Amino acid sequence: MTNQKPIVIIIGPQGSGKGTQGKRLAEKLKVPYLETGQLLRDEIARGSDEGLLFASYMNKGDLVPAERVVALMSDKIRNAVTESGGAVIDSFPRNKEQALGFPSDVHPTHVLAIDITEDETIKRLSARRVCLNDKKIYNLISNPPKHDEQCDVCGAKLVQRDDDTPDAIRQRLSVYKQDTEPVLEQYQALGIVHRIDGMPPIDEVAKAVGEIFAE
């Protein structure tokens, strides 16, 4: 399998900016960006039985069962690496079971762990709004749309994600601490984990991420 470009896993608590930074990094590295949460939400939007099952976990803030996520992500990761030589993978693996299911012929080169405080997670997610048409993400405080709760690109009304409710946020944070942080230990042993402070403004965090990949 070609491996000339970075294969990056991004892990971080909710609202840490994984999606924003992941998309930017993938553009910079010219590799596909694979966002697990969005791929699951796409399936929900298709209205399939599988999507209904995903929603039943996601709306409570729980992880979708590992075998489903491994099945969804494995081929996408292999294809991305085969075709582009690299990938930015947002939020997979998210627990040890998924880490065991990560394609064994794909070797991540970097794991970015973006850190923010619990208070900041709650603050950011309560103000997060998304456009369901073009998936653009806004924050009413730090990255507001030009017109009141309307998408800058298509004008659609912005909405809150179904899992950005206080109960689901609390549950997602607890799952992150209990299930996702232990995954980092495993990659730490390989010496590929880079911890990023996710508290500063978006451009500053992007600069810190960029420095890791500077030639």
Q: How far is the CB of 214 from ligand AMP (least distance, A)?
A: 27
Site for ligand AMP in 167-206 (CB under 6 A): 172
Contacts for 19 with CB less than 8 Å, ≥ 6 apart? 35, 37, 38, 90, 137
Stretch that binds ligand AMP, among 58-66, 143-151, 185-193, 198-206 (CB under 6 A): 58-66
Stretch that binds ligand AMP, among 32-40, 44-52, 77-85, 136-144 (CB under 6 A): 32-40
> Edge-to-edge, what's the strand order for the sheet holding 110-115?
33-35, 87-90, 7-11, 110-115, 193-197
- What 3-state DSSP class applies to 88? strand
Whichever of 139 and 163 has its CB closer to ligand AMP, that residue is: 163
Site for ligand AMP in 67-86 (CB under 6 A): 69
Q: Which two tokens stand for residue 193?
A: 């984990």
Whichever of 134 and 211 has its CB closer to ligand AMP, that residue is: 134
Q: Find the length of the chain.
A: 215
Q: Which whole-number Å values give the CA distances from 112 to 41, 79, 171, 185, in the listed order?
A: 23, 22, 23, 13
Q: Does 63 bind ligand AMP (CB under 6 A)?
A: yes
Q: Which of 92, 102, 138, 187 binds ligand AMP (CB under 6 A)?
A: 92
Q: Which two tokens stand for residue 121?
A: 């997670």
Q: Does 40 bind ligand AMP (CB under 6 A)?
A: yes
Q: Which two tokens stand for residue 198?
A: 């996710």
Whichever of 27 and 162 has its CB closer to ligand AMP, that residue is: 162
Q: Report the interface residues with ligand AMP, using CB under 6 A.
A: 14, 36-37, 40, 57-58, 61-64, 69, 91-92, 94, 98, 163, 172
